[in-house]
Chain A
Amino acid sequence: MLFNSYEFIFVFLPITFFIYFYLNHKRLTEASKGFLVCSSLFFYSWWNVAYLPIILSSMVFNYIIGRSFNKTCKDKGKGFSKKSILIFGIVFNLSLLGYFKYTDFLIENFNLSFSSDAELLHLALPLAISFFTFQQIAYLVDSYRQETKEYDFLNYALFVTFFPQLIAGPIVHHKEMMPQFANTRNKVKNYRNIAMGLFIFSIGLFKKVVIADTFAVWATNGFDVATTLSFFAAWATSLSYTFQLYFDFSGYTDMAIGLALLFNIRLPVNFNSPYKATNIQDFWRRWHMTLSRFMRDYVYIPLGGNRKGGFRAYNNLMATFVLGGLWHGAAWTFVFWGFLHGLALIVQKFWSKLGFKLWTWLAWLITFNFVNITWVFFRAKEWDDAVKILGSMFSLSNISLPGFLEKNFLFLSQYGVNFNSWLGQTPEGRLTFIWIIAGFALIIFSKNSIQKLHTFQPGIINIAFTSFILAIGLLSITKKSEFLYFNF
């Protein structure tokens, strides 16, 4: 079930909300938790009930492993060591993820390397497996470190399956969620939270169905449909994807945060105006923040972080980013995307050490363009697609300018510039241009949704604003449009 669907907004959500609080009102707290878990599993199964056993078995396994750490503490010296149990748990989780996500990738590369012809398995990737696997690995590590513990399976199931964050994050820690579920004050309806939840959910819905889905048309056309692109059309394509990805994923996150707020749960912030970043480190502190936190805490630091300094720190950084790329998808384009970001961070660290400084606007321009260009690899299904887009973005041999410039710049035609359809291969050319300008205005000048939430006041302006964007959002749900991060 999608957040941006009528069945979710008008059926699933109201039923779940009212029954959950009704059960709490009747002081049936365990029943309310159980209901929320069942609702979340129903929500998950809506796509494909075949995936249900996978998430259930993963949950049971990790719960047992997590509990065994506490037992091991009590029965010191008996049985397996805590560390070996942890390693076993992590290996199991990564194997599950690896089997579904990376088997075909490995076979393809094996075939390529050894000129063999092993058949691909064509396994369908179970929805949200990357997210619930990472979340549970974090839980195992935290349990191992005695930073958290869980004795109750129902609580644990709620932590894993809570529907607002189940499919595509934010990736949450057990220790930041469970106290909220346990807090009795959170078991009664809180109108302030509902108001804020509705407010931010509306923003998220608008971002997704109005903005992201509009850019999606142009991005898809440029990447998947058009065989050749002119200079401007290639830039319009890459920028459309850059905006689509941001508004899609941050829209999803806003909706998740809003939905959780309806249940008095505060999810961690996942985006903080990433396209305002003025260097690549800054970007990663603002983009998919919970994934960055996970990669830092559970990959970079365990690898040694910067404790051993110099070359080793750079190695760790690169390894973290390459793995981050691979987490997003089983393809070399993702690995290369991660590599480029790792490399950029290393370059930035050198740059900082040398003490150079750039004007803020130039730093922003370089950072934004770097991110925009590297998203091309992230989006491209094949290397050829990336080459097609980037080739056209940096080729001066295929430039078309708007017709009205012909009078003044006719001399340019001798250099191969033509004056016909300057965004020729992009549908609705002029409209694309206007949307891209609007996209820039939004990412640069507008407060982000979390900043808006922090200053939220239930006043007339917010009523008008929320009513309008919610109404437009509801009207714009015209087709099934999945979130991009559902694929990762």
Chain B
Amino acid sequence: MLNSKKFILYILGGVFIILSIYSYIVLEHKILYMGGEYPMWRHVQNTINNNNNNAILIGDSRAKAGFIPNKFNTDTINSVNLALGGITPIEGYYILKNYLSNNNTPKYLLMSFAPSHIYEQDTYWERTVRFGFLEDNDYSDIYNTSLILNDKTTLANKMNEPSLILGVENKHLDYKIFTQQYLTELKNGILYQRWCTNNQILKYLNTSRGHYYFGKRLGSSRLNTETKHTFFKPSKLINYYLEKTIELANKNSIKVFWYTMPFNKSSFNTVSTTFKKGYNQYIENLVDKHKITALNTLSYLGDAKFSDPSHLYMGIDEATEDIKIKFHSKL
């Protein structure tokens, strides 16, 4: 038996070691336990660190589901889908920036964000920060930019609680310090052996060059999130990063294309005319200001082509073909 003093010290030491091992695993090996979204983020991280394509697509989940690089590619076009579920042009800017730092400069940049991801972010904290997708100074830059732009709402959305200890400007560090917030995910990871499924998803993404399905249901007539808004009003912060992305592309002589993934017919018929006009006008302004090429305006496909109100399933080939035709016509 030990004496009590040693017992106490060993317990404190034991707790410290367990917490350290735990923190190391949850922060450094997310692929082992995170849910199904994570492998896509890891795939994009891997791709932007070591890949060479002459066409890249940056966008959100609608683009992730709706654009199949293997069907888009030709003898001269070698593309990869770097879209991610829930992201906005904020993350899009850093994807392009990091891609350029680690790869040959591509010739073409295809951008495709849903209107909803231009007026608000909804997964910046839950995914971008929680998945550790960016560097600490990137988060600080984004926060400082929001201050400069006097945009108090974009980052505040779905930010559970401001960090009490570190202040809102360092909220992203909460995810490194208070690692207990990954515990439930870790438990689920162990319970459902997610390391297997995550590796399978990663393998699939490597084969599909970044394309992934967001559901495979045969049709949806439910309404998408844009139908809840009467007006299209872009977020200052997101718009800033969208323009910054285009400027970065222009600076590197990358030709930029914009494609808006179609709505399902039910949503398109429901969303207000004011909203549609506002969005199309916004894209037109981008075209005029930055000399980008818009491949379409807000459009729709039949409900049967969608797996849910936002994501294509049966209509994926059609959408990819549409992009391909329009893209080549504008080259």
Contact = CB atoms under 8 A, between A and B. Distances in A.
A458 B15 contact: no
Given A457-B1, A458-B2, A475-B19, A198 B180 contact: no
Contacts of B184: 478
A86 B4 CA distance: 46
B180 A195 contact: no
Contacts of A475: 19, 22, 179-180, 183
Interface in B173-214: 179-181, 183-184, 191
Interface string A467-478: 110110011111
B11 A467 contact: yes
B4 A463 contact: no
Q: Which of B13, B15, B19, B22 has the most CB of A within 10 A?
A: B15
Given A459-B2, A475-B183, A476-B180, A191 B8 contact: yes
Q: Which of B1, B2, B7, B180 has the most CB of A within 10 A?
A: B7
Nearest to A471: B18
A402 to B, nearest CB: 18
B180 A458 contact: no
Interface in B16-45: 17-19, 22
A470 B13 CA distance: 12
Contacts of B1: 457-459
Contacts of A462: 7
A248 B180 CA distance: 21
Contacts of A71: none
B74 interface: no
Contacts of B180: 474-478
Given A198-B8, A463-B7, A471 B19 contact: yes
A467 B14 contact: yes
A145 interface: no
B179 to A, nearest CB: 8
Nearest to A457: B1
Q: Which of B3, B10, B13 has the most CB of A within 10 A?
A: B10
A198 B14 CA distance: 13
Contacts of A466: 11, 14
A474 B8 contact: no
Interface in A250-277: none
A437 interface: no
B5 A191 contact: yes
B6 interface: yes
Interface in A440-488: 457-460, 462-464, 466-468, 470-471, 474-478
A467 B18 contact: yes
A278 B227 CA distance: 61
A119 to B, nearest CB: 36
A38 B11 CA distance: 30
Given A476-B180, A478-B181, A471 B4 contact: no
A468 B7 contact: no
A61 B1 CA distance: 50
Contacts of B22: 471, 475
A211 to B, nearest CB: 14
A474 B7 contact: no
A470 to B, nearest CB: 5
B306 to A, nearest CB: 27
A344 interface: no
Contact of A195 (B4, B13, B17, B18): B4
A192 B4 contact: yes
Interface in A200-234: none
B188 to A, nearest CB: 10
A194 B6 CA distance: 11
A474 B15 contact: yes
A468 B22 CA distance: 11
B3 A476 contact: no
A291 to B, nearest CB: 32
Contacts of A467: 10-11, 13-15, 17-18
B183 A458 contact: no
A194 B12 CA distance: 12
Interface string B282-300: 0000000000000000000
Interface string A121-137: 00000000000000000
A475 B2 CA distance: 27
Nearest to B160: A479
Nearest to B164: A7
Contacts of B14: 463-464, 466-468, 471
Interface string A173-214: 000000000000000000110110010000000000000000
A195 B8 contact: yes
A470 B17 CA distance: 12
A306 B222 CA distance: 69
A463 B7 CA distance: 7
Q: Which of A192, A468, A471, A478 has the most CB of B within 10 A?
A: A471
Q: Which of B8, B22, B184, B191 has the most CB of A within 10 A?
A: B8
B10 to A, nearest CB: 5
B18 A458 contact: no
Nearest to A476: B183
B318 to A, nearest CB: 36
A181 to B, nearest CB: 22
B3 A478 contact: no
Nearest to B186: A475
Contacts of B18: 467-468, 471
A118 to B, nearest CB: 40
Contacts of A459: 1-2
B3 A458 contact: yes
Given A466-B14, A467-B10, A470-B15, 18 more contacts: A192-B4, A194-B4, A194-B8, A195-B4, A198-B11, A458-B2, A460-B2, A463-B10, A463-B11, A463-B14, A467-B13, A471-B15, A471-B18, A474-B19, A474-B180, A475-B22, A477-B180, A478-B184
18 contacts: A191-B4, A194-B4, A195-B4, A195-B7, A198-B11, A458-B1, A458-B3, A463-B10, A466-B11, A466-B14, A467-B11, A467-B15, A468-B18, A475-B22, A475-B180, A476-B183, A477-B180, A478-B184
Interface of B: 1-8, 10-11, 13-15, 17-19, 22, 179-181, 183-184, 191
Q: Top 5 A-B pairs ranked by shortest CB distance?
A: A467-B14, A458-B7, A191-B4, A471-B18, A195-B4
Interface of A: 191-192, 194-195, 198, 431, 457-460, 462-464, 466-468, 470-471, 474-478
